[in-house]
């Protein structure tokens, strides 16, 4: 990890990019842990896991000058937003979501894309936590003292529309679409006005919900690997897309857990590609 300190023995180490409710319960209150609620505005509630800070993916953790939602901000803005939540070089970050696993993977992907690897998502999010009768409260206030993390963008994590167009024509690449099957087919309306219905010609539909069980937790690893391999055969690099760059990161998380090493997220996703313009769209009918 590029932002670490020499005293690695003082770090709160993670078991992997996904942690369970039991692990989190055992580490609540640890000063090295920064717990964030990354729920989108659609899924946000007043209830929170004790000690959780609200991380706003529509606010400080996106680029205000971009025309598209949830655009990865520049390093300076991202660093300032992370520091305001108390994230330091020695911190360990766990993100969760009010829906289960929807937007929290975006935090995992963004921080890794900026060189910070000690970050994980809570499997099943707030619903899994609450279903086990674990305590809930209200969101904590941001710390008085900011953190000292320094976030530096890394190559290859995010790609643009031209890169996606190239990947669609490349035999060794697969573009996975995390939207629902109906939105992919163009038979369900897009939630954002003005976007064309359908999908990128050559893209493969893999709704992010297909990587989760009925309880909102990720599928067991063998099943997860099988779902990823069925959509993106082994040996091919993976580019993930969705509506606005949130659930594409769920597919990126699944691909990472399945052992895929060449994975990128299309930051603009359908909010960009689906706008009226020259990009080809395979629509209904």
Contact of 206 with 251, CB cutoff 8 Å: yes
Encoded tokens for 184: 């992919």
DSSP run (H or E) holding 264: strand 263-266
d(CA 144, CA 173): 46
The string over 202-230, giving b where at least 16 C-beta atoms fall within 10 Å of a residue's C-beta and e elsewhere, is: bbebbbbbbbbeeebbbbeeeebbebbee
Residue 155: C-alpha distances to residues 123, 254, 262, 264, 272 (Å) = 27, 20, 12, 10, 21
Evaluate whether 201 touches 280 at the Cβ level (below 8 Å): yes
Contact between 54 and 84 under an 8 Å Cβ cutoff? The reply is no
Active-site residue identified among 95, 101, 126, 242? 242
Q: Tell me how far apart the alpha carbons of residues 75 and 28 are, in angstroms, rounded to a whole number.
A: 29
Q: Are 237 and 173 within 8 A, CB to CB?
A: yes
Q: And the tokens for 32?
A: 């090295």
242 is catalytic: yes
- Residue 115's closest CA among 143, 63, 166, 78? 78
Q: What is the b/e burial string over 27-53, where b = at least 16 CB atoms within 10 angstroms of the residue's CB?
A: beeeeebbbbbbbbeebbeeebbeebb
The whole-angstrom separation of Cα 146 and Cα 189 is 42
Catalytic residues: 242
């Amino acid at each position: 990890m590029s932002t670490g300190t020499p005293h690695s023995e003082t770090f709160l180490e993670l078991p992997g990019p996904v942690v369970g409710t039991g692990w989190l319960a055992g580490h609540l209150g640890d000063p090295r842990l920064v717990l964030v609620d990354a729920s989108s505005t659609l899924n946000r509630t007043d209830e929170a896991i004790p000690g959780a800070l609200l991380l706003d993916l529509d606010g400080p953790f996106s680029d205000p000058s971009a025309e598209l939602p949830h655009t990865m901000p520049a390093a300076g803005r991202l660093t300032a937003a992370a520091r305001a939540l108390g994230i330091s070089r020695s911190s360990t970050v766990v993100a969760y979501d009010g829906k289960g696993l929807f937007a929290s993977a975006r935090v995992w992907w963004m921080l890794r894309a900026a060189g910070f690897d000690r970050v994980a998502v809570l499997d099943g999010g707030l619903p899994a936590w609450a279903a086990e009768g674990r305590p809930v409260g209200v969101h904590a206030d941001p710390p008085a003292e900011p953190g000292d993390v320094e976030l530096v963008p890394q190559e290859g994590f995010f790609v643009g529309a031209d890169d996606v167009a190239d990947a669609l024509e490349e035999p060794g690449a697969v573009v996975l679409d995390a939207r629902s099957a109906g939105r992919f087919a163009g038979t369900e309306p897009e939630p954002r006005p003005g976007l064309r219905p359908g999908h990128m010609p050559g893209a493969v539909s893999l709704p992010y919900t297909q990587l989760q069980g009925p309880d909102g937790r990720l599928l067991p690893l063998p099943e997860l690997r099988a779902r990823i391999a069925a959509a993106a055969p082994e040996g091919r690099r993976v580019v993930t897309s969705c509506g606005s760059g949130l659930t594409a990161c769920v597919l990126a998380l699944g691909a990472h857990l399945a052992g895929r090493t060449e994975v990128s997220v299309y930051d603009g996703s359908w909010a960009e590609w689906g706008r009226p313009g020259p990009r080809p769209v395979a629509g209904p009918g």
